[in-house]
Amino acid sequence: MGLRLYDTLQRETVDFEPLDPGRVRIYTCGPTVHDFAHIGNLRTFLFEDLLRRVLKRRGYDVVQVMNLTDVDDKIIGKAVETGVSIGEYTDPYKRAFFDDLAAMRIDPAEEYPAATDHIDAMVGLIERLRDNGHTYTTDDGSIYFRISTFPDYGKLSRVDLSEMRDGARVDSDEYDKESPKDFALWKAAKPDEQAWDTALGRGRPGWHIECSAMSMEYLGESFDIHTGGVDNVFPHHENEIAQSEAATGKPFVRYWIHAEHLIVDGQKMAKSLGNFYTLRDLLDRGYRPRVIRYLLLSVHYRSQLNFTFAGLDQAAAALERLADFADRLEQLPAGDSPNDELAGRTQQAATEFDTALDDDLNSSRALAAVFEWVRDVNRALDSGQATTADRDQLGGFLKSFDSIYDVLTPDPGEAEIGADIEALIAAREAARKAGDYARADAIREELAGRGVVLEDTAQGVRWKKV
Ligand SMILES: [Zn+2]
C-alpha cells in the first residue's frame, strides 16, 4: 500500500498520486511576519516537515513553496505607527522565523517568496479575473471578487452561504462591498499608507490573492498539495480556490491537507488568557528545541494537540529513553552470530513504522511502533541476547526513525559524549583491572562531573548521560 492522505475537499483519506510521476509540488501558507511565530504555527510547520520527509522517503522529488506574508492591514498599521517602512518593520520577524525553522530542524522549502516581491504577479491575476467578469471596483478604487460568479464557491469548507447574514464579516478586509461574502482582491491605498502604483491604481493586494498568485507562479496553475492550518480552510483557502479556478478554468489543487489546532491546557491559546507561547518562551524556560519538536510531532496532525508543560516533560523523558537506548547500542558486547529473532522483530517494527506514516502520517502510531521495539530490544540486551553482530540491523532502524523525526542528535550547546570520555572509561577499566581502585574512583568522579555516570552490569561497564 502506498501513501494515503486525508483530503479536506473530498472529506476522506485517499491514495496519493502526484500529477507528475515522481515529483510532488506543495504550497504551504507561511507566516505573516508581524510577530514571532507561536507554537500553534510551529505545529503546522512541523506537520509540513513530516509530510515532506515522508514524501522524500517514498522517493519523490519535493518542490515546496512557502510564502511570507509581509504586507497586510496589521503590518501597514504597525509600520505607520512606528514610523518605519514595511520592510524595516517585517525584517526582524522574517529573520526570527528562519531562526525558529532552523531550531525546529524543519527542512527548508525550495522557495520562500515574499508577497512584496510579487505584486506584479498579483496584479496580473486580478486583471485576468477582471477580464473574465469576476470582479467589481468600489468607489474608493478597491477591487472585489464577486462570489456569485463562481458557483463552486464553498466546496472546500462547505460553508452555507445562505446562512451568512448580511453584514457578517467573513474577512478582515473592511471596505464597502456588494455582498458580505465578497472579498477584496485589491485594496486602494488610504492616505499615509505605503502602497504600490500599478495598473490597478495605487494600493496593495488582499491576503488571499497573494497565495493564488505566488503558488501558480512557482508551481503552475494546477499542482499537487496545498497545506495550512484548519483555520485557513475558510475563508482563505476557499477564496484561493475561487480566484485560481475562476482565472484559469483548471482545478487548482489535487489534495488539501490541514493541521488541527494546538490548544494549551485544554483551552484555546490566547494572549488574553496568559497561555500564549512562542518558541522563545519555551526556550527561555530551559526546554531544548528537539524536545519541543518531538512533542509537536507526536500527535497525529488531524487531532487537536493539547500542549502542557507536563507533556513537554514527558517528551523529554521519551527522548531520554531513546538516548539511553542509542547509548546501549554503542556498547553492545562482542558477538559474531546475529540474533535472527531480534532481526525479525526489528523488521516488524520497521514495517509498522512505515505503514503508520503511510496511513495519513499517523505519527502517534509510528512512534508507538518504535517504543515497543525499544522495549523489546532492551529486554534482549538485559538478557545478553544482542551483540555487535546485531548492531547494523538495530542501528539501521533507529537511524531510519531519526531520518523522519530528527530528535536524536544534540541541540547546539548540549553536551555530547566525546572521544576523551571514551578514553577515560577505558582508563578506569584498566585501573580497576590493575587493582588501582583509588585511580578508578577518581576517574569515575571526573566523569560524573561531566554528566556521565557508570554502571557496572553483568555485561560489563555501561555509561549513561545524566
Ligand atoms: Zn495562504
Could you read off the pLDDT tens digit of each residue along the chain, which spans 466 residues? 799 999 999 999 999 999 999 999 999 999 999 999 999 999 999 999 999 999 999 999 999 999 999 999 889 989 989 999 999 999 999 999 999 999 999 999 999 999 999 999 999 999 999 999 999 999 999 999 999 999 999 999 998 877 665 444 444 444 467 787 899 999 999 888 889 999 999 999 999 999 999 999 999 999 999 999 999 999 999 999 999 999 999 999 999 999 999 999 999 998 888 899 999 999 999 999 999 999 999 999 999 999 999 999 999 999 999 999 999 999 999 999 999 999 999 999 999 999 999 999 999 999 999 999 999 999 999 999 999 999 999 999 999 999 999 999 999 878 666 677 778 888 898 898 899 999 999 999 988 888 888 887 776 777 877 7
Ligand 1 centre and the CA of 28: distance in Å? 7
Model pLDDT, residue 406: 98
Cβ partners under 8 Å of residue 284, min gap 6: none
Closest residue by Cα to residue 90 from 38, 36, 30 = 36
CA–CA–CA angle 102, 104, 110 (5° rounding): 50
Distance (angstroms) between ligand 1 centre and the Cα of 448 equals: 51
CB-based contacts of 461, cutoff 8 Å, min separation 6: 425, 428, 429, 454, 455
Q: What is the distance between the alpha carbons of residues 423 and 443, in angstroms, rounded to a whole number?
A: 11
Q: For residue 49, give the amino acid letter.
A: D
b/e map of 62-91 (b: 16 or more CB within 10 Å)? bbbbbbbbbbbbebbeebeeeeeebeebbe
Nearest residue to 373 via CA among 299, 316, 322, 332: 322
The answer to whether residues 448 and 426 touch, using CB atoms and an 8 Å cutoff, is no
On whether the 291-296+305-405 domain is CATH 3.30.420.280, my answer is no
Q: How far is the CA of 365 from the centre of ligand 1 (A)?
A: 30
The architecture CATH gives domain 4-259: 3-Layer(aba) Sandwich (3.40)
177-224: per-residue pLDDT in tens? 778 789 999 999 988 888 999 999 999 999 999 999 999 999 999 999
**Residue-wise burial string across 123-139, b where 16 or more C-beta atoms lie within 10 A, e elsewhere:** bebbbebbeeebbeebe
CA of 127 to the centre of ligand 1 (A): 20
Residue 280 C-alpha to ligand 1 middle, in angstroms?
Answer: 25
CA of 325 to the centre of ligand 1 (A): 42
| Contact yes or no for 48/28 (Cβ under 8 A) | yes
Distance 255 CA to ligand 1 centre (A): 15
Q: Measured between alpha carbons, how far is 75 from 103 in angstroms, rounded to an integer?
A: 25
Spatial CA neighbour of 214 closest among 369, 361, 110, 366: 110
Whether pTM > 0.75 for this model: the answer is: yes
Report the separation in Å between the CA atom of 359 and the middle of ligand 1, taken as the mean of its atom positions: 26
Question: Domain map of the chain by residue range?
Answer: 4-259, 291-296+305-405, 419-465
CA distances from 448 to 123, 331, 414, 422, 436 (A): 65, 18, 16, 13, 19
Task: Compute, in angstroms, the gap from residue 211 CA to the centroid of ligand 1.
Answer: 5
Predicted confidence at residue 163, as pLDDT, reads: 66
Predicted confidence at residue 184, as pLDDT, reads 95
Rounded to whole angstroms, how far apart are CA atoms 68 and 75? Answer: 12
Type of residue found at 436: D
State in Å: Cα 217 to ligand 1 middle. Answer: 14
Quote the pLDDT of residue 87: 95
Q: Give, in order, the Cα–Cα distances in Å from 136 to each of 105, 126, 145, 196.
A: 45, 11, 7, 20
Instruction: Give the span between the Cα atoms of 272 and 126, in whole angstroms.
Output: 38
Q: How far is the CA of 230 from the centre of ligand 1 (A)?
A: 12
Distance 423 CA to ligand 1 centre (A): 54
DSSP characters over 165-229: -TT---SS--S--SSTT-EEEEEEPPTT---EEETTEEEEE-HHHHHHHHHHHHH-SSEEEEEEE
CA–centroid distance, residue 151 to ligand 1 (Å):
22
Residue 67 alpha carbon to ligand 1 centre in Å: 7
Residue 341: per-residue pLDDT: 97
Distance of CA 210 to CAs 77, 245, 455, 456, Å?
A: 19, 15, 59, 62
pLDDT of residue 233: 96
Please report, for residues 38, 109, 291, 391, the alpha-carbon distance to residue 321 in angstroms, rounded to integers and kept in the order given.
Answer: 28, 31, 12, 18
Cell of 361: 502520517
Rg from Cα positions in the chain: 27
Q: What's the pLDDT at 415?
A: 65
Determine the distance separating the centroid of ligand 1 and the alpha carbon of 51, expressed in angstroms: 18
Ligand 1 centre and the CA of 236: distance in Å? 7
What cell was used for 102? 532552523
